[in-house]
């Protein structure tokens, strides 16, 4: 059996409305993290930087903003519909 771990970033300002982004950098598919001191998402591979609220590219080579993921709340449970997108291109294309 093969398993893959997919990461997502989930955010909320009020605990009721949520947004989510794929945890994969749109440049070359690396995982990125949150730089608490700078208040941005930062990819360690090529220093791509993203706005954590909008996913917009702030710096570096990523060709597009972070990939948003659909979120819904069902009976108090936050559910994210995970999708994979191609990296390295300007258009958001599903795998």
- Please tell me the distance from the alpha carbon of residue 81 to that of residue 90, in angstroms, as a whole number: 22
| Nearest alpha carbon to residue 32 among 60, 4, 2 | 60
Q: pLDDT band at 5, cuts 50/70/90? A: confident
Percent of the residues in the chain that have a pLDDT greater than 70, as a whole number: 96
Residue 66: strand, helix, or coil: coil
How many whole angstroms separate alpha carbon 92 and alpha carbon 46? Answer: 20
Give the whole-angstrom CA distance, residue 81 versus residue 88.
22
| pLDDT tens digits for range 29-46 | 999 999 999 999 999 999
Distance CA 13, CA 95 (A): 31
């Amino acid at each position: 059996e093969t398993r893959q771990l997919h990461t997502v970033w989930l955010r909320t300002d009020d605990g009721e409305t949520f947004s989510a982004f794929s945890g994969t950098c749109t440049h070359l598919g690396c995982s990125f993290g949150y730089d608490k001191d700078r208040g941005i998402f930062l990819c360690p591979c090529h220093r791509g930087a993203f706005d954590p609220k909008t996913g917009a590219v702030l710096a570096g080579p990523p060709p597009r903003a972070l990939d948003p993921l659909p979120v819904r709340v069902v009976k108090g449970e936050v559910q994210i519909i995970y999708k994979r997108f191609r990296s390295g291109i300007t258009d958001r294309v599903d795998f």
